Amino acid sequence: MTDTTRQPGEPYPRLPLPASGSREDLSAFHAWLANAIPMVTSLGIEKMQREGDRLEWQLALAPNLNDKGTGFGGALAAQTTLQGWCWVTLWLREHGLARDVVVAQASQRFLAPVKGDYRLVCTPRQTNGTEQLHENLQQRGKGRIQLVHQLYCGESLCLEAEGDYAVLPAT
């Protein structure tokens, strides 16, 4: 259920961090996300799963159709940006950190029309990306990570996207 009483400029309360050593409940995170960012309910995210440095979503095409009956590029771009934000936020939560994350830069390359339900996979661009992020957070109190997104419809790669996400200093 979306909170209609929240006003622009008013932050949504953070989701409590998982207990130390506990695994994130992605269903609870998805429910919180839908309240914190109201457009999430319209994006067709059916399932989130996380394994190691990989975040994968299963998405329905129906809420993301364009006038041609294929995936609307703007919705797909929004999904990649949101997924990157979620990747960094979940990584921080796993490390016991409640910090603000913003996208600094994003780009997409559309390779083929999306004609059915699809999956979106997000991973760090560099194999040592998480180690660099962790080191920067410890040394400078802030950090950045580059993420790559790949959208598959069946076995076809339909979109590749990149994002540069910043973890802001603690306030």
Give DSSP secondary structure letters for 100-168.
Answer: -EEEEEEEEEE-S---S-EEEEEEESSTTHHHHHHHHHHHHS-EEEEEEEEEEETTEEEEEEEEEEEEP
1 inside domain: no
161 inside domain: yes
Residue 21: the pLDDT is 81
Question: How confident is residue 13, by pLDDT bands cut at 50, 70 and 90?
Answer: very high
Residue 2: the pLDDT is 52
Q: Which residues of 83-118 are buried (b: 16+ CB within 10 A; e: fewer)?
A: bbbbbbbbbbbeeeeebebebeebebeeeeebeeeb
pLDDT tens digits, 41-64: 999 999 999 999 999 999 999 999
Q: How far apart are CA 40 and CA 134, in angstroms?
A: 28
156 inside domain: yes
Q: How far apart are CA 61 and CA 68, in angstroms?
A: 12
76 inside domain: yes
Question: How confident is residue 4, by pLDDT bands cut at 50, 70 and 90?
Answer: low
CA 33 to chain centre: 10
Residue 34: the pLDDT is 95
Number of domains in the chain: 1
17 inside domain: no
Q: Are strands 101-110 and 54-59 parallel, antiparallel or unpaired?
A: unpaired
19 inside domain: no
What is the extent of the structural domain holding 84? 42-167
Mean pLDDT of 17-31: 92
pLDDT tens digits, 108-151: 999 999 999 999 999 999 999 999 999 999 999 999 999 999 99
20 inside domain: no
Q: How far apart are CA 116 and CA 138, in angstroms?
A: 43
Judge residue 140's burial from the number of C-beta atoms within 10 Å of its C-beta, 0-12 exposed, 13-18 middle, 19 or more buried.
Answer: exposed
pLDDT tens digits, 74-118: 999 999 999 999 999 999 999 999 999 999 999 999 999 999 999
Domain of 90: which CATH number? 3.10.129.10
